[in-house]
């Protein structure tokens, strides 16, 4: 009973204790939760041409733009610049100027846009180093669509109709370039041209007036296709590697291999030899050369080369022409062949 009385008294005390409400006056109006424009779209807007960049930083386009006169579209006078076209088009209005140019700069990135009707170069960055060019489309440029200096990366670009009669390649790069996932077609001169130590991969070059792909010493070309070009399908010089590429229906040799290695390629239906090899120390292995106008494999004026495990068929001048001093075991009888034999039918 005493315990019950204690609980009852405690409950009555709680009921009689005054309770206080919080402040019922409204607080200040809620602040904005939106980010400022500078955070949503960092950088400086480019809304008209011509435009000169004098400060490092990020820049972006806000609309399709056409150059109104014979001036370059965008002139870059600073290092460490990124230009994002945001999918918009720069129209050169068929005047002889460059869409975007930079002289002796470094660390330039240009991405995500379309260039049409520039009768000089699309991107003229030939003496600027460490450039990155990506996700761009070019049509009807007069000279090179893309001209870049040392250590450039060019990827995911589409180029068509570079029609100047002068000797300008659609993509032109100096040393140590990386060019990947690009498509070049219907250009007057060389499709892709680089200097030493380039890596070119997963690219297609079709119907260019000169060679499809030309690079210099110690370069790598891999998983590329060259078709219907006006000279060689591709050419490499000393210490280079060509692997898993196709050179088809070109007006000269499918591949011109000088002092280099060619592995697992297809060179067929070209208007000269499928694979023309010159120099010394070449390794020519596991390639296919069919239905070429001259030889399948033409190992010319060279020695100390290894030509093994290749296949040739239906070449008009013969399947193999091998100079003395090179190793090239050939047979048409698989039953008597060694593991190193070249086959011809």
Are 125 and 148 a contacting pair, CB within 8 Å? yes
Cα(261)–Cα(274) distance, integer angstroms:
15
How do the residues of the chain divide into helix, strand and coil, expressed in percent and rounded to 5? Answer: 5, 40, 55
Alpha carbon 105 to its chain's center? 20
Non-local (6+) Cβ contacts of 169 within 8 A are 144, 187, 189, 190, 191, 192, 193, 214
CB atoms within 10 A of CB 167: 12
Give me the half-sphere count of Cα atoms (radius 13 Å) on the Cβ side of residue 329.
10
Global pTM reads: 0.86
- What CA–CA distance (Å, rounded) separates 210 from 224? 17
Task: List, for residues 150-190, the tens digit of each pLDDT value.
Answer: 999 999 999 999 876 567 899 999 999 999 999 999 999 99
Low-confidence ranges of the chain (pLDDT < 70): 1-41, 164-166, 330-337
Kind of pairing, strands 241-243 and 220-222? parallel
pLDDT averaged over the chain? Answer: 89
Strand 318-322 with 295-299, pairing: parallel
Contact status, residue 133 vs residue 106, Cβ threshold 8 Å? no
What is the pLDDT at residue 272? 98
């Amino acid at each position: 009973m005493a315990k019950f009385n204690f609980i009852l008294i405690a409950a009555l005390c709680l009921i009689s204790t005054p309770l206080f409400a919080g402040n019922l006056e409204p607080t200040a109006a809620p602040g904005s939760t939106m980010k400022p424009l500078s955070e949503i779209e960092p950088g400086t807007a480019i809304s008209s041409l011509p435009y000169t960049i004098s400060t490092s930083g990020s820049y972006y386009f806000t609309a399709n733009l056409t150059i109104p006169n014979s001036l370059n579209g965008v002139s870059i006078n600073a290092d460490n610049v990124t230009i994002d076209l945001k999918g918009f088009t720069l129209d050169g209005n068929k005047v002889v100027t460059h869409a975007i140019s930079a002289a002796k700069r470094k660390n330039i990135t240009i991405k995500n846009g379309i260039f049409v009707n520039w009768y000089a170069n699309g991107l003229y960055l030939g003496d600027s180093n460490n450039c990155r060019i990506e996700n761009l489309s070019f049509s009807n440029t007069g000279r090179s669509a893309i001209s870049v200096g040392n250590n450039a990366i060019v990827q995911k670009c589409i180029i068509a109709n570079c029609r100047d009669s002068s000797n300008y390649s659609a993509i032109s790069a100096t040393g140590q370039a990386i060019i990947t996932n690009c498509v070049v077609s219907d250009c007057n001169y060389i499709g892709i041209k680089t200097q030493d130590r380039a890596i070119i991969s997963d690219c297609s070059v079709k119907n260019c007036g000169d060679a499809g792909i030309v690079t210099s010493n110690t370069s790598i070309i891999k998983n590329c296709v060259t078709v219907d070009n006006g000279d060689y399908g591709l050419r490499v010089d000393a210490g280079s590697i060509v692997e898993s590429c196709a050179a088809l229906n070109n007006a000269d040799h499918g591949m011109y291999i000088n002092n280099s290695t060619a592995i697992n390629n297809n060179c067929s239906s070209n208007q000269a030899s499928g694979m023309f090899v010159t120099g010394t120390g070449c390794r020519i292995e596991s390639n296919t050369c069919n239905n070429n106008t001259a030889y399948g494999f033409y190992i010319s004026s060279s020695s100390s080369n290894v030509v093994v495990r290749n296949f040739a068929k239906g070449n008009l001048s013969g399947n193999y022409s091998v100079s003395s001093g090179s190793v090239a075991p050939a047979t048409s009888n698989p039953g008597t062949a060694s593991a190193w034999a070249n086959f011809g039918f």
